[in-house]
Amino acid sequence: MMAAVGSFNAAEYLVDRHVKAGRGERLAVVAGSGSLTYRELSEEVRAAAGVFRAIGVRPEERVVFCMADDIQLLAGILGAMYIGAVPVPVSTMFTGDDLGTVLADSRARVLSVSAEFAGIAQSALTAAPEVTDVLLDGEAPVKARRGVRVQQWLELDGELPRRPYDTWQDSPALWLYTSGTTGMPKAAMHRHAGIRMVAEAYGTGVLGIGPDDRCLSVAKLFFAYGIGNSCFFPFAAGASTVLERTRPTPQLVAERLKSEQPTLFYAVPTFYSALLHSDIPDDAFAGVRQGISAGEALPPSLYQRIRDRFGLEVLDGIGSTEALHIFLSNRPGAVRPGSSGVPVPGYDVQLRDEQGAVITEAGQPGDLYLRGSSIATGYWCRAETTRKVFQGEWLRTGDTYTRNEDGSYSCLGRSDDMLKAGGIWVSPAEVEERLLGHPGVAEVAVVAAPDADGLAKPVACVVAVAGTPVDPDELIAWCREGLAAFKRPRAVVAFQELPKTATGKVRRNVLREHVSGTLTAAPAHAG
């Protein structure tokens, strides 16, 4: 009786619910391999579920997906949920060692992989002794060790389940590995009910997604941001999603905007910057009713330049793998540039000081804590870290924020990226915003490096606009003119490109290592 009250299966909610309600002929997916209605997608999901059952996948077992965004990945993720198994989509930018580490960590027996990543999968298998089955979405040679079956999806059949497995609201639905900006990725474990919560809270509550919307996301399905954009939000509303199998470029996005006419466009600040530096038409976004940005804070200057050139209003927000999607967001028609907006319906936030006391005064920086029902139940096999991050009802996000007088919240950077110069806190985001205002700067990240006395000082890692040389003295002077002197970067280091995770976040830990000797080895650039 108790189980029946709590019964809920996210795959049924996202797909079969529409078929049962007579909406089966509505367009659900447009992808490189074809288009599907909700009825056809339901058939694909149940077919994938049948294959998993045929090869012995049981409820709550993990299935790892290293696949390009296409129908097979979408059907596989939902098919695993349908039978109560736990899909684990992972980055397609993993090396073989990376994938092997995640396979071993998750204890998965099944790996589903796209043909273009077959070489990575083959390398990964040497570190994953528990894998028994590899499923491919196309022809590709994979030499596996004895005991591992390598098969193609199209060659497999299984008995189609008549109904979804009787998962509960709190049953494990999905694992998502953190992007690893600060170290070894960890698997955040999410419930079936959390998927419905983010769809209703952000998809409906903020974006107002309806059946006539069509979603296009630069962020891929393996990313928490991307799976919400391309799966949870459109399907919860009976809308459509556009999947792009290949790596997005401004030119490719412009083509998809023209051919598929999405109404909602999701990207990260880095990609919005790339759009501005491309030659795509200024009216490329004419049919898009709303742009969305997450992953890192969207600088006000970047927001305004997008608005001025493309006529596109971009809602900046913050989400996390642990929260499953965005929990602070600006609202359509009420954007406060430079802020992450206000809490999404269903979430509460607090700012706390170094002693853990709640900060009530506007303008005071503090650690951002979050409460909401989409928060993960914890990290897989990371008890100590789980206790530090998941504190009762609250999640310690690891971000430093300040609350503005109007009730919106502004990001000052990751808590472990904040630095003190002369005993005063310096926000990397503030220095980065100033540098992005220089006409010669395309991208920038500010990190800390020790000076000759071992004190942390800000260093700017800069990617110049094409054809523009980086002049450290000029950029430091530029910062002096617009910032308090103690906030200026003490050195500027030129980069061809900034190291990033697969989801577009700057890998600040890599930058810190790269510039660690800058202030002692290259004093000529000191300001």
Residues 443 and 271 sit within 8 Å (Cβ to Cβ) = no
> Token digits for 67?
């696949």
Task: Say what the pTM is.
Answer: 0.85
Residues 423 and 399 in one domain: no
11 domain residue, yes or no = yes
Q: pLDDT at position 30, please?
A: 98
Instruction: Let me know if residue 228 belongs to a domain.
Output: no
Domain boundary among the residues 376, 397, 414 is at 414
Average pLDDT over every residue of 185-201:
96
Structural domain includes residue 364:
yes
Q: Are both 24 and 156 inside the same structural domain?
A: yes
Q: Residue 308 domain-assigned?
A: yes
Q: Are residues 267 and 368 in the same domain?
A: yes
Q: Where are the alpha helices (DSSP H) in 266-319?
A: 269-276, 300-310
Distance between CA atoms of residues 133 and 129, nearest Å: 11
User: Are residue 302 and residue 385 in the same domain, yes or no?
Assistant: yes
Residues 6+ apart with CB under 8 A from 41: 15, 28, 29, 74, 75
Domain carrying residue 426: 419-525
Check whether residue 172 and residue 294 sit in a common domain. no
* Shared domain check, 438 and 339: no
Query: Looking at residue 154, what is its pLDDT?
Result: 85
Q: Say if 238 falls within a structural domain.
A: no
Question: Strand ranges (DSSP E) for 162-268?
Answer: 172-177, 187-191, 214-217, 240-242, 264-267
How far is Cα 212 from Cα 229, in angstroms, rounded to an integer?
A: 15
The pLDDT of 432-452, averaged and rounded, is 91
Among 177, 208, 229, where does a domain finish?
A: 177
Mean pLDDT of the chain: 92
Cα-based torsion angle of the residue sequence 176, 58, 192, 3 in order, rounded to the nearest 10 degrees? -150
| pLDDT for 420 | 64
E strands within 375-454? 390-391, 394-403, 409-414, 419-421, 424-426, 441-450
Judge if 130 and 276 occupy the same domain. Answer: no
Assess whether 378 and 463 both reside in one domain. Answer: no
Q: Which of 74, 81, 92 is nearest to 38 (CA)?
A: 74
CATH number reported for the structural domain that contains residue 262 in this entry: 3.40.50.12780
Spatial distance between the Cα atoms of 506 and 273, rounded to a whole number of angstroms: 14
Say whether both 120 and 16 belong to one domain.
Answer: yes
* Domain CATH code at residue 450: 3.30.300.30
Counting the structural domains of the chain, the total is: 3
Query: What is the average pLDDT across 444-457?
Result: 82
| 320: Cβ contacts below 8 Å, ≥ 6 apart | 224, 327, 395, 397
Structure tokens at 140: 């590709």
Residue 2's pLDDT band (boundaries 50, 70, 90)? very low
- Quote the CA–CA distance of 162 and 138 in Å, as a whole number: 27
pLDDT of residue 179: 62
Based on the domain organization, do 454 and 366 belong to the same domain? no
333 and 389 inside one domain: yes
What digits encode the pLDDT tens for the residues 141-188?
888 888 899 999 988 888 899 899 999 999 999 999 986 544 578 999
Return d(Cα 286, Cα 5) in angstroms, integer: 46
The reply to whether 344 and 358 lie within a common domain is yes
Average pLDDT over residues 409-438: 81
Per the domain annotation, does 220 fall within a domain? no
Mean pLDDT of the region 347-367: 94
Domain boundary among 414, 444, 467: 414
d(CA 48, CA 52): 6
